[in-house]
Chain A
Amino acid sequence: GAGVSQSPSNKVTEKGKDVELRCDPISGHTALYWYRQSLGQGLEFLIYFQGNSAPDKSGLPSDRFSAERTGGSVSTLTIQRTQQEDSAVYLCASSVRDPNTGELFFGEGSRLTVL
Protein backbone atom coordinates (compact mmCIF):
# COMPACT_ATOMS: atom_id res chain seq x y z
CA GLY A 1 0.00 0.00 0.00
CA ALA A 2 0.94 3.64 -0.22
CA GLY A 3 1.20 4.24 3.50
CA VAL A 4 1.70 2.55 6.84
CA SER A 5 -1.27 0.36 7.64
CA GLN A 6 -2.31 -0.65 11.16
CA SER A 7 -4.95 -3.01 12.43
CA PRO A 8 -7.22 -3.11 14.24
CA SER A 9 -8.05 0.57 14.28
CA ASN A 10 -9.98 0.09 17.51
CA LYS A 11 -9.77 -2.65 20.08
CA VAL A 12 -11.76 -2.96 23.28
CA THR A 13 -10.68 -5.72 25.61
CA GLU A 14 -11.16 -6.85 29.15
CA LYS A 15 -8.46 -6.54 31.75
CA GLY A 16 -6.24 -9.61 31.76
CA LYS A 17 -6.75 -10.54 28.12
CA ASP A 18 -3.96 -10.57 25.53
CA VAL A 19 -4.04 -8.32 22.45
CA GLU A 20 -2.11 -8.24 19.20
CA LEU A 21 -1.66 -5.11 17.15
CA ARG A 22 -0.40 -5.30 13.59
CA CYS A 23 1.64 -2.90 11.49
CA ASP A 24 2.33 -3.11 7.78
CA PRO A 25 5.04 -0.56 6.91
CA ILE A 26 5.70 1.17 3.63
CA SER A 27 7.29 -1.24 1.18
CA GLY A 28 11.06 -0.94 1.19
CA HIS A 29 11.28 0.81 4.56
CA THR A 30 13.72 -1.16 6.65
CA ALA A 31 13.22 0.78 9.89
CA LEU A 32 10.05 0.31 11.92
CA TYR A 33 9.01 1.91 15.20
CA TRP A 34 6.24 1.54 17.73
CA TYR A 35 5.13 4.55 19.76
CA ARG A 36 2.39 4.92 22.35
CA GLN A 37 0.23 8.01 22.62
CA SER A 38 -1.76 8.53 25.78
CA LEU A 39 -4.30 11.32 26.28
CA GLY A 40 -2.54 14.62 26.74
CA GLN A 41 0.88 13.06 26.38
CA GLY A 42 3.44 13.09 23.66
CA LEU A 43 4.55 10.13 21.66
CA GLU A 44 6.31 7.60 23.86
CA PHE A 45 8.95 5.45 22.15
CA LEU A 46 8.46 1.71 22.64
CA ILE A 47 10.70 -0.22 20.25
CA TYR A 48 12.73 0.11 17.08
CA PHE A 49 13.37 -2.51 14.40
CA GLN A 50 16.03 -2.46 11.74
CA GLY A 51 15.07 -5.30 9.42
CA ASN A 52 13.92 -8.15 11.63
CA SER A 53 16.11 -7.31 14.58
CA ALA A 54 15.22 -5.00 17.44
CA PRO A 55 18.39 -3.21 18.56
CA ASP A 56 16.41 -1.01 20.91
CA LYS A 57 13.61 -2.35 23.10
CA SER A 58 14.27 0.13 25.86
CA GLY A 59 10.85 1.76 25.70
CA LEU A 60 8.76 -1.34 26.34
CA PRO A 61 6.97 -0.58 29.64
CA SER A 62 7.11 -4.10 31.08
CA ASP A 63 7.69 -7.73 30.21
CA ARG A 64 4.01 -7.97 29.27
CA PHE A 65 4.91 -6.10 26.09
CA SER A 66 6.69 -7.79 23.20
CA ALA A 67 7.07 -7.19 19.51
CA GLU A 68 8.35 -9.05 16.53
CA ARG A 69 8.92 -8.36 12.89
CA THR A 70 9.07 -10.99 10.20
CA GLY A 71 10.34 -10.86 6.65
CA GLY A 72 11.59 -7.34 7.21
CA SER A 73 8.01 -6.18 6.82
CA VAL A 74 4.98 -6.76 9.04
CA SER A 75 5.35 -6.22 12.77
CA THR A 76 3.16 -7.35 15.63
CA LEU A 77 3.02 -5.73 19.05
CA THR A 78 1.65 -8.07 21.70
CA ILE A 79 0.42 -7.01 25.10
CA GLN A 80 -0.22 -9.85 27.53
CA ARG A 81 -2.52 -9.69 30.54
CA THR A 82 -3.66 -6.19 29.63
CA GLN A 83 -4.14 -3.59 32.34
CA GLN A 84 -6.23 -0.42 32.29
CA GLU A 85 -3.11 1.72 32.12
CA ASP A 86 -2.33 0.09 28.77
CA SER A 87 -5.23 2.02 27.24
CA ALA A 88 -3.75 4.31 24.60
CA VAL A 89 -3.27 4.77 20.89
CA TYR A 90 -0.43 2.62 19.60
CA LEU A 91 1.25 4.17 16.59
CA CYS A 92 3.54 2.42 14.19
CA ALA A 93 5.94 4.28 11.92
CA SER A 94 8.45 3.33 9.29
CA SER A 95 11.34 5.10 7.64
CA VAL A 96 13.93 4.55 5.00
CA ARG A 97 17.21 3.52 6.58
CA ASP A 98 18.96 6.77 5.86
CA PRO A 99 20.41 8.82 8.69
CA ASN A 100 20.10 11.94 6.57
CA THR A 101 16.38 11.56 6.08
CA GLY A 102 14.90 11.06 9.49
CA GLU A 103 11.26 11.33 8.46
CA LEU A 104 8.90 8.95 10.19
CA PHE A 105 5.80 7.86 8.27
CA PHE A 106 3.10 7.03 10.78
CA GLY A 107 0.10 4.80 10.55
CA GLU A 108 -3.26 5.96 11.84
CA GLY A 109 -2.83 3.99 15.02
CA SER A 110 -4.63 1.29 16.95
CA ARG A 111 -6.76 2.65 19.77
CA LEU A 112 -6.73 0.19 22.66
CA THR A 113 -9.27 0.41 25.45
CA VAL A 114 -8.89 -1.93 28.41
CA LEU A 115 -12.02 -2.19 30.53
Chain B
Amino acid sequence: GENVEQHPSTLSVQEGDSAVIKCTYSDSASNYFPWYKQELGKRPQLIIDIRSNVGEKKDQRIAVTLNKTAKHFSLHITETQPEDSAVYFCAAPQGGSNYKLTFGKGTLLTVNP
Protein backbone atom coordinates (compact mmCIF):
# COMPACT_ATOMS: atom_id res chain seq x y z
CA GLY B 1 0.00 0.00 0.00
CA GLU B 2 0.90 3.66 -0.12
CA ASN B 3 3.47 4.95 2.37
CA VAL B 4 3.63 8.72 2.89
CA GLU B 5 6.53 10.23 4.80
CA GLN B 6 6.36 13.87 5.88
CA HIS B 7 9.18 16.12 7.10
CA PRO B 8 9.81 17.98 9.28
CA SER B 9 7.49 17.06 12.13
CA THR B 10 7.84 20.54 13.59
CA LEU B 11 8.87 23.81 11.98
CA SER B 12 9.28 27.20 13.59
CA VAL B 13 9.79 30.33 11.49
CA GLN B 14 9.72 34.06 11.97
CA GLU B 15 6.83 36.02 10.54
CA GLY B 16 7.60 36.96 6.96
CA ASP B 17 9.92 34.03 6.35
CA SER B 18 9.13 31.12 4.06
CA ALA B 19 8.23 27.62 5.17
CA VAL B 20 8.69 24.40 3.22
CA ILE B 21 7.23 21.01 4.10
CA LYS B 22 8.15 17.94 2.10
CA CYS B 23 6.43 14.61 1.57
CA THR B 24 7.51 11.46 -0.19
CA TYR B 25 5.24 8.70 -1.39
CA SER B 26 5.80 5.14 -2.51
CA ASP B 27 3.03 4.27 -4.96
CA SER B 28 3.94 5.36 -8.47
CA ALA B 29 0.26 5.09 -9.47
CA SER B 30 -0.65 7.98 -7.17
CA ASN B 31 -1.90 10.95 -9.19
CA TYR B 32 -3.48 13.34 -6.71
CA PHE B 33 -1.71 15.11 -3.86
CA PRO B 34 -3.66 17.31 -1.46
CA TRP B 35 -2.52 19.36 1.51
CA TYR B 36 -4.76 19.88 4.53
CA LYS B 37 -4.40 22.48 7.26
CA GLN B 38 -5.67 21.80 10.77
CA GLU B 39 -5.73 24.65 13.24
CA LEU B 40 -5.70 23.77 16.91
CA GLY B 41 -8.99 22.14 17.87
CA LYS B 42 -10.43 22.60 14.38
CA ARG B 43 -11.23 20.33 11.48
CA PRO B 44 -8.71 19.63 8.70
CA GLN B 45 -9.38 21.74 5.62
CA LEU B 46 -8.02 21.42 2.12
CA ILE B 47 -5.74 24.32 1.23
CA ILE B 48 -4.26 23.24 -2.06
CA ASP B 49 -3.91 20.16 -4.21
CA ILE B 50 -2.04 19.11 -7.30
CA ARG B 51 -2.60 16.46 -9.92
CA SER B 52 0.14 14.53 -11.62
CA ASN B 53 -0.19 16.27 -14.96
CA VAL B 54 1.39 19.48 -13.60
CA GLY B 55 4.59 20.18 -11.73
CA GLU B 56 3.57 23.24 -9.75
CA LYS B 57 0.46 25.02 -8.59
CA LYS B 58 0.17 28.35 -6.80
CA ASP B 59 -2.56 30.05 -4.84
CA GLN B 60 -1.53 33.40 -3.43
CA ARG B 61 1.10 32.72 -0.74
CA ILE B 62 1.00 28.95 -0.98
CA ALA B 63 2.35 26.69 -3.67
CA VAL B 64 2.83 22.99 -4.16
CA THR B 65 5.49 21.37 -6.32
CA LEU B 66 5.50 17.79 -7.52
CA ASN B 67 8.38 15.63 -8.70
CA LYS B 68 6.90 12.39 -9.97
CA THR B 69 10.26 10.90 -10.85
CA ALA B 70 11.54 11.28 -7.33
CA LYS B 71 8.07 10.68 -5.86
CA HIS B 72 7.99 13.71 -3.66
CA PHE B 73 5.89 16.84 -3.35
CA SER B 74 6.32 19.93 -1.25
CA LEU B 75 4.24 22.72 0.25
CA HIS B 76 5.72 26.21 0.13
CA ILE B 77 4.33 29.08 2.19
CA THR B 78 5.81 32.51 1.56
CA GLU B 79 5.55 35.63 3.71
CA THR B 80 4.30 33.58 6.63
CA GLN B 81 1.85 35.10 9.06
CA PRO B 82 0.86 34.05 12.60
CA GLU B 83 -2.44 32.72 11.28
CA ASP B 84 -0.49 30.20 9.22
CA SER B 85 0.37 28.44 12.48
CA ALA B 86 -1.28 25.02 12.32
CA VAL B 87 -0.63 21.35 11.60
CA TYR B 88 -0.25 20.62 7.91
CA PHE B 89 -0.91 17.17 6.46
CA CYS B 90 0.03 15.88 3.06
CA ALA B 91 -1.74 12.92 1.49
CA ALA B 92 -1.64 10.61 -1.48
CA PRO B 93 -4.19 8.12 -2.77
CA GLN B 94 -3.51 4.47 -2.17
CA GLY B 95 -3.19 2.24 -5.19
CA GLY B 96 -4.46 4.86 -7.60
CA SER B 97 -7.70 5.04 -5.66
CA ASN B 98 -9.77 8.19 -5.98
CA TYR B 99 -11.08 7.90 -2.42
CA LYS B 100 -8.61 6.26 -0.07
CA LEU B 101 -6.06 8.81 1.02
CA THR B 102 -2.99 7.94 3.04
CA PHE B 103 -1.94 10.90 5.18
CA GLY B 104 1.46 11.90 6.45
CA LYS B 105 1.92 12.31 10.19
CA GLY B 106 1.71 16.08 9.97
CA THR B 107 3.95 19.09 10.45
CA LEU B 108 3.34 21.52 13.28
CA LEU B 109 4.17 24.96 11.87
CA THR B 110 4.66 27.80 14.31
CA VAL B 111 5.02 31.32 12.96
CA ASN B 112 6.54 33.62 15.55
CA PRO B 113 5.51 37.28 15.39
Contacts and interface: CB of A to CB of B under 8 A. Distances in A.
B104 A42 contact: yes
Interface string A13-28: 0000000000000000
A18 B45 CA distance: 30
Interface in A60-103: 91, 95, 99, 102-103
B43 A106 contact: yes
A106 B100 contact: no
Given A40-B105, A41-B105, A42-B103, A102 B98 contact: yes
Contacts of A33: 99
Contact of B46 (A44, A56, A103, A108): A103
Given A42-B89, A108-B42, A99 B98 contact: yes
Contacts, number: 51
Interface residues of B, number: 22
Interface residues of A, number: 23
Interface string B13-40: 0000000000000000000101010000
B84 interface: no
Contacts of B89: 42-43
A112 B25 CA distance: 30
Nearest to B108: A40
Summarize B's interface: helix, strand, loop or mixed. Answer: strand
B78 interface: no
Interface of A: 4, 31, 33, 35, 40-45, 48, 50, 56, 91, 95, 99, 102-104, 106-109
A103 B98 CA distance: 10
Given A40-B105, A43-B89, A31 B99 contact: yes
A102 B49 CA distance: 9
A102 B32 contact: yes
Given A102-B32, A103-B34, 4 more contacts: A41-B106, A48-B99, A95-B99, A109-B43
